[in-house]
Amino acid sequence: MSEQNSEYQLNQTDEYVNHLADVQETNPVTASEDIFNDFGVLLLKKGAVINPRVAGHLVQHKLKKELDQSINVANALTLYDVLNQILELVESESEFNLLHQHFDFEVTLRQLFFAKPIPAQVLQRLTVMQQVMPDIYKRSLFGAWMAPLLAKMMGLPHQSYFSAFAAGLSHDIGLLHIPVDAATKQEGLSYSQWRALKSHPIVARIILEGRKVYDDDTLKGVADHQERCDRSGYPSYKPSKEIGWVAPLVAISDQLFDIFYDNSRDSKTILAWNAYLEVNMTTFGVRNVEPLLALLKDPKIIAHVQKELPPVNVNDVAIQNGQVSQLFELVVDLFDIAASHPRSRVARAVSECITQLRWVRDSAGMGSDHLSEWLEWCKKNPNEIDAVELAEISELLSCLRWRFRHLWRVAVEFSWSDKVSDEDKSQVKTIYQKMTPLLPKPGVIDPEAPEPEDQSPAM
């Protein structure tokens, strides 16, 4: 499936059929009418239950009409179910509720649910997602709340909130239509799995577009929710001017959710968002980040946030700063190689990523000799260290290393390009291999995954 032009068709069957079979105990799925393939051959009679055997019979067929229009998912979610689940999520976390109440957002949220109908086919998919991908479903609920809340923080017109809400709720339904190993695997994706994962925003857009109720802002928001303003996103490495206004709000929401619920952290707090937003202002666009960042520093908000960032060891922070410094040194040659391939979209993505990372370094001093000297002073004067400041610097360095991880992924894709000479590919590979031990956790993709014969990523 091309990143530029998805070949997905609404009447094809795919992994979603297997998910329908997976929920037969909680939400049995039956055919609401006879189901035919595109040649008119009867595949399933009205009233038949979609179980694993039936799913195996249906999968990979092209149908006369879209499958979701010919099935009924029992106990499907209603508008009220989704609304109540969002409110329960917000109320379960005191700091979410703090933001909710600060903007008097409940009335707005309730209005959004009934501004336009949410199609039954979308509610059916969300019902299935709740069962087979509960974490992704929970993140979608968060996005349906946070994306329009961000729009309100930014002072956007009230009529625009629905686009952010609808995209936040539905942007990941495309994950139901790709292989499970690609949709849910956290790291080490093979080449083919990564290609499949990259298609999910476009698949989601096609599904929503087929409902005929969503405006272009919503559809662009869904299609572009993995794109980034520094061109480090996917599937198309779009520059900021080509990304719709909704997409960054959905993207920010996804990242804030992941940070808040990161199990590696000692406690859940919105204070952990600060460093990420500061390091990623140009990733999502300054105008999209500044209002929330200002709010998180507002004394009226801080006064009600009881949690603090955990204390850190100055030696560990010094190691982080050294790693960031080494990363900046490594990407000098990578930038030059990318600059020699101006016609390649992924090469331009590499160049833009590095440019924006250098902006962060120059503006915040991360990885600098000055910070290194200050950390050495802290080691010699432990009783004079400002623990809060040190913890904040540690968070900034950690977030910057994660941003380098995105550059690493784009560099791997650059090395796969058929527009790059073997010599340059070898140099790029050497660079990202040297970057690997300096970065947090393994990458999403496996750089050693073989490239299929006669096929290379679209640029």
Please write the tens of the pLDDT for every residue from 391-411. 999 999 999 999 999 999 999
Q: Is the pLDDT of residue 73 over 70?
A: yes
Among 277, 302, 327, residue at a domain's last position: 302
The answer to the question of residue 298 being in a domain is yes
- Tell me the per-residue pLDDT of 365-374, one tens digit each, with 9 for 90 and over: 999 999 999 9
Alpha-carbon distances of 311 from 173, 268, 388, rounded to whole Å: 39, 15, 8
Helix (H, G, I), strand (E, B) or coil at 39: coil
- Tell me the per-residue pLDDT of 197-211, one tens digit each, with 9 for 90 and over: 999 999 999 999 999
Q: How confident is the model at residue 458 (pLDDT cuts 50, 70, 90)?
A: very low
Among 302, 322, 344, residue at a domain's last position: 302
Count of domains forming the chain: 3
Q: Is the pLDDT of residue 448 over 60?
A: yes
- Tokens 């499949």, located at residue: 196
pLDDT of 452 reads 44
pLDDT of 454 reads 35
As a whole-number percent, the residues of the chain with pLDDT over 90 amount to 81
The answer to the question of residue 183 being in a domain is yes
pLDDT of 411 reads 96
Alpha-carbon distances of 106 from 110, 113, 116, rounded to whole Å: 6, 11, 17
Average confidence (pLDDT) over 83-88: 98
Range of the structural domain that residue 427 is part of: 314-438
162 and 200 belong to one structural domain: yes
pTM exceeds 0.85: yes
Q: How confident is the model at residue 260 (pLDDT cuts 50, 70, 90)?
A: very high
Residues contacting residue 383 through CB under 8 Å, at least 6 positions apart: none
The pLDDT mean for the chain works out to: 92
pLDDT of 258 reads 96
Q: Is the pLDDT of residue 1 over 50?
A: no
Is it true that the peptide bond before 235 is cis, omega within 30 degrees of 0? yes
Q: Retrieve residue 197's tokens.
A: 């994962």
The answer to the question of residue 308 being in a domain is no
CA 231 to chain centroid, in Å, comes to 14
Average confidence (pLDDT) over 176-185: 90
- φ/ψ of 50, rounded to 5, equals -85, 100
Residues in the chain, total: 459
255 and 346 belong to one structural domain: no
Check: CB of residue 43 under 8 Å from CB of residue 63.
Answer: yes
The answer to the question of residue 26 being in a domain is yes
176 and 251 belong to one structural domain: yes
64 and 86 belong to one structural domain: no
- Tell me the per-residue pLDDT of 279-329, one tens digit each, with 9 for 90 and over: 999 999 999 999 999 999 999 898 888 677 788 999 999 999 999 999 999
Alpha-carbon distances of 354 from 292, 293, 332, 369, 408, rounded to whole Å: 25, 23, 9, 19, 10
362 and 321 belong to one structural domain: yes
Give the DSSP letter string of 270-281.
TTHHHHHHHHTH
Average confidence (pLDDT) over 427-456: 78
How many other C-beta atoms are found inside a 10 Å radius of the C-beta of residue 412? 23
Report the CATH number that the domain containing residue 182 is assigned in CATH: 1.10.3210.10
Among 73, 89, 118, residue at a domain's last position: 73
Average confidence (pLDDT) over 136-155: 98
223 and 271 belong to one structural domain: yes
Rounded-to-integer distance, Cα 448 and Cα 133, Å: 28
Q: Retrieve residue 402's tokens.
A: 């994660």
173 and 273 belong to one structural domain: yes
The answer to the question of residue 288 being in a domain is yes
334 and 228 belong to one structural domain: no
Q: Is the pLDDT of residue 191 over 60?
A: yes
168 and 201 belong to one structural domain: yes
The answer to the question of residue 9 being in a domain is no
Do the bridges between strand 71-73 and strand 42-44 make them parallel or antiparallel, or are there none, so unpaired?
A: unpaired
DSSP state of 456: -
The answer to the question of residue 224 being in a domain is yes
Q: CA angle, 224 as apex, 219 and 227 as ends, to 5°?
A: 175
235 and 117 belong to one structural domain: yes
The answer to the question of residue 323 being in a domain is yes
Rounded-to-integer distance, Cα 424 and Cα 429, Å: 8
- Tokens 């016609």, located at residue: 343
Alpha-carbon distances of 315 from 319, 376, 377, 378, 399, rounded to whole Å: 6, 9, 11, 9, 18
pLDDT of 449 reads 63
Average confidence (pLDDT) over 344-359: 96
pLDDT of 450 reads 55
How many other C-beta atoms are found inside a 10 Å radius of the C-beta of residue 292? 22
How many other C-beta atoms are found inside a 10 Å radius of the C-beta of residue 307? 14
**β-pair partners for 62:** 12
Average confidence (pLDDT) over 98-126: 94
244 and 381 belong to one structural domain: no
H or E segment and range at residue 43: strand 42-44
180 and 277 belong to one structural domain: yes
